[in-house]
Structure 1
Amino acid sequence: MPDQEGTTVRTNSASRMLATALVAIAMAGIPSTAGAADSGRQAARETMLHAMAQDLGTTPQRAAERLRQEEEAARTEQQLHGTLGKNFAGAWFDEKSGRLVVAVTDARRTGEITAAGAVARVASHSLAELNTAKDQLDALANGAAVPQYVTGWYADTVTNSVVVEVLRGRTTTAEVLRFLDEALETSGLVRVAEVDSVMRPEYNVAGGAYYSVGGTACSVGFSARGADGSRKFVTAGHCTRPGGTVYGYNGAFLGKTSGSVFGNRGDFGKVNVTSGNWNVKPWVNTWPNVRVVHGSRAQPVGASVCRSGWKSGWRCGEIVAKNRTVNYGGVIVEDLTNTTACSSPGDSGGAHMSGGQAQGIHSGGPSSGCGALFQPINEVLNAYNLRLVVG
């Protein structure tokens, strides 16, 4: 169920509102010199690097080097996924070495991986097999109630298994044991892991900015345009009930919700920006600056990622798992990406980025401690036939 703390519109802190106001002023089209633009981009980059350094326990210099390594790793993963085909067993970024690790089911093909500059690992099961096993659990969940203590599951390329997460201390309860027995019968690739909290959606035009609909406060994801050039932004589906009237951070009318998915297809929605007073820009708030969106190339597991939301601001972490199914108090949501970034109620719908690449839309997080879940952005753009606004 949606977190109750996020169902009431709250007044933001003065600093957050000022930052959003500055973005809105920029969106209105006030001209600036090239020098000022360059200075702004540098300030935004420094803000991002310092946030990464703080949340990942490193230095801004090392964070900059890591971003460069991750960009290279993302390109290499895309290349090897295509060339290895059915033998591809997944990939992840190793922060310690700064290199991409690629798993393959055929040991004879490890040379292709090392030739591309990555580290090779031999695995028993391909990524396709892992995803099929995970899909079988999704089908099981669609046909039976999932215990509240089972928080979700995902295909884990690092361990070459499908991980089912259960609230710590609850693995021996009768309902959980029944579910795990069925899961093990469904797939022999299942591995059980205990976690410290359940997941929840986090309720509450530049990415991360505040908006409200139906008395609920959420965060803007990314600016987009329809096939006809119409202005939109994408956000969380649990925020965008059909036909809702949307208001911006300042209470001014912004537009109408025009799409909402919250269930086994994912957690995403869109808003038509119909007011002429709002412009869609390729920006994401980093509080107090903005980050320019350049594209939407997906990063591998292990890569750094930062998220923006009006409630907790700009926070960074690492990608832990992809294609994760989550139990939101009985609502089963599939195909989310899990990260270690901190988040709060009110951040739902906000933007996740890695460098200048859009990664996804914030969906939720744990009821205690840090962690975040996002809906991959490219799936949203494809579902609605939208193109990302980039700079």
Structure 2
Amino acid sequence: MKRTTARRRRTVITGAAVAAVTITTLGLRPPADPEPDTLSADAAEQLAEGINSELGSDAAGAYYDVERRTLVVNVVNEEAGDKVRAAGAEPKVVRHSLGSLEEARQTLRDKAAIPGTSWVMNPKLNKVVVTADSTVTGAELDRLEKVVSSLGDRAEVRHSKASLRLLLAGGDGLWGGGVRCSLGFNVTKDGEPYFLTAGHCTNAVDSWSDSLNGAQIAASAGGSFPGDDYGIAAYTTNVDHPSAVDTYPGAQEITQADDPIVGQQVQRSGSTSHVRGGEVTGLDATVNYQEGTVEGLIQTTVCAEPGDSGGPLYAGTTGLGLASGGSGDCASGGESFYQPVTEALQATGSTID
């Protein structure tokens, strides 16, 4: 996925590490493997992108160890591990390559795209984790478990007592036609002010207000759902549209857009449950809503509730995603999914200023 903000990239792979020479007659030992670099989550995401590109089929995913502030890169052989160490990350030799896990995901798409299910490649487990909500029962559940079983240890099924749903109700709040969503990010397109929100919101509403039965402030101008879940609306009145997130109270300035990394700590703001935090647990997730399938989503442990749809996922001043759906709630806990904002910006031709 391409970035929407320009950033100078560093070269992260310079070749295989040079083997140390052991002089046994003098009792000398080769130097220990270099410790992985201490990194911010943003730096780890950049490093992972470069390493995965260099390793090609030898790469098997990566994640950020937030406690040690290091990047862990899965590899399928020790030679690739040497390259990872040389780049400043920690290698972990695993059984399944990204290609093998993607084959498992394709089998799920072909044979088990059942409403109420989701799946994502979990790099910490080196497998595809499939979740079935409480609506998946009987013959559909049997079919799902049979398909997952055929994938061996490349996949596993987990069951959720909650129901997977879009987060649309009937964060700054947006109202239209009895539907309430949340504004994601204010953006600029062709020099004019717009905002991003969820595609299932702009599909349902043509005219938006900032209060129930209020005057129009914006009109939907496009989007995509299902498949993706982003929408864009054009401001129609002269209202303030700062590049910031409402933090109830206060505001967090947003200066750029980027992609997250598994393990990163993030926050979400929405008009129902306000600001909540958690961890990114997966990328490129597939979610089979009752209304249709959406792919390429960010999966997190952040709770969310109806009305939070379209709200922003962010880390500091960096915008990451737009709330799509989830399960559970903020009283009992749950998980939520987000459309990557980088893709939404590119598709709509808009920018975060």
Whichever residue aligns with residue 276 of structure 2, its letter is R
Q: Give the conservation status (yes or no) of the 8 Å contact 1:141–1:332.
A: no
* 1:197 Cα deviation after fit: 1.7
Matched, 1:353 2:314: yes
Q: Deviations over 1:207-247 (max 9, x none)?
A: x3111122111100011222x22321110111112671111
| Aligned counterpart for 2:340 among listed residues 376, 381, 387 | 376
Q: 1:266 aligns to what SS in structure 2? A: coil
| Aligned counterpart for 1:180 among listed residues 124, 145, 154 | 145
1:1-391 equivalences in 2 (<5 Å): 69-141=40-112, 146=114, 150-167=116-133, 173-185=138-150, 189-204=154-169, 208-226=171-189, 228-241=190-203, 244-249=206-211, 251-263=214-226, 265-275=227-237, 277-329=238-290, 331-368=292-329, 369-387=333-351, 389-390=352-353
* 1:294 Cα deviation after fit: 2.1
- Compute the TM-score of the two structures, normalised by the length of structure 2: 0.80
* 1:346 Cα deviation after fit: 0.9
Q: 1:183 to 1:247 in 2, by over 3 A?
A: same
Comparing 94-103 with 363-372, which one deviates more in the overlay? 363-372
User: 1:355 and 1:132 mapped to 2: Cα distance?
Assistant: 35
Q: Deviations over 1:326-384 (max 9, x none)?
A: 23235322222111112221111000001221110001221342322111111111222
Q: Give the conservation status (yes or no) of the 8 Å contact 1:88–1:126.
A: yes
Across the aligned residues of Structure 1 and Structure 2, the Cα RMSD in angstroms comes to 2.5
Q: 1:380 aligns to what SS in structure 2? A: helix
- Compute the TM-score of the two structures, normalised by the length of structure 1: 0.73
User: 2:186 and 2:106 mapped to 1: Cα distance?
Assistant: 31
Q: Give the conservation status (yes or no) of the 8 Å contact 1:209–1:249.
A: no
Q: 1:175 to 1:242 in 2, by over 3 A?
A: closer
Comparing 335-344 with 162-171, which one deviates more in the overlay? 162-171
Comparing 359-368 with 298-307, which one deviates more in the overlay? 359-368
* 1:385 Cα deviation after fit: 2.2
Q: 1:336 to 1:281 in 2, by over 3 A?
A: same
Give the % identical residues.
32
Whichever residue aligns with residue 219 of structure 2, its letter is K
User: 2:180 and 2:58 mapped to 1: Cα distance?
Assistant: 45
Whichever residue aligns with residue 225 of structure 2, its letter is F
User: 2:43 and 2:318 mapped to 1: Cα distance?
Assistant: 13
Q: 1:330 to 1:273 in 2, by over 3 A?
A: closer
- Which entry has the higher C-alpha Rg, 1 or 2? 2
Q: Deviations over 1:76-116 (max 9, x none)?
A: 21221222222221111113322111111232021221223
Comparing 310-319 with 252-261, which one deviates more in the overlay? 252-261
User: 2:69 and 2:228 mapped to 1: Cα distance?
Assistant: 31
Q: Please list every run of at least 4 consecutive aligned residues from structure 1 whose deviation after the TM superposition is greater than 3 angstroms.
A: 139-142, 167-171, 182-188
Gaps of 5+ in 2: 1-37
User: 1:168 and 1:108 mapped to 2: Cα distance?
Assistant: 44
Q: 1:181 to 1:377 in 2, by over 3 A?
A: same
Residues paired across the two proteins, number: 311
User: 2:135 and 2:290 mapped to 1: Cα distance?
Assistant: 18
User: 2:80 and 2:151 mapped to 1: Cα distance?
Assistant: 30
Q: 1:169 to 1:296 in 2, by over 3 A?
A: closer
Q: 1:141 to 1:379 in 2, by over 3 A?
A: farther
Aligned to 2:17: none
Q: 1:195 to 1:122 in 2, by over 3 A?
A: same
Aligned to 2:18: none
Structure number with higher relative contact order (C-alpha < 8 Å, ≥ 6 residues apart): 1
Q: 2:217 aligns to what SS in structure 1? A: strand
Q: 1:298 aligns to what SS in structure 2? A: coil
User: 2:341 and 2:105 mapped to 1: Cα distance?
Assistant: 21
Q: Give the conservation status (yes or no) of the 8 Å contact 1:200–1:367.
A: no
Select the structure that is richer in helix: 1
Q: 1:354 to 1:252 in 2, by over 3 A?
A: same
* 1:200 Cα deviation after fit: 0.9
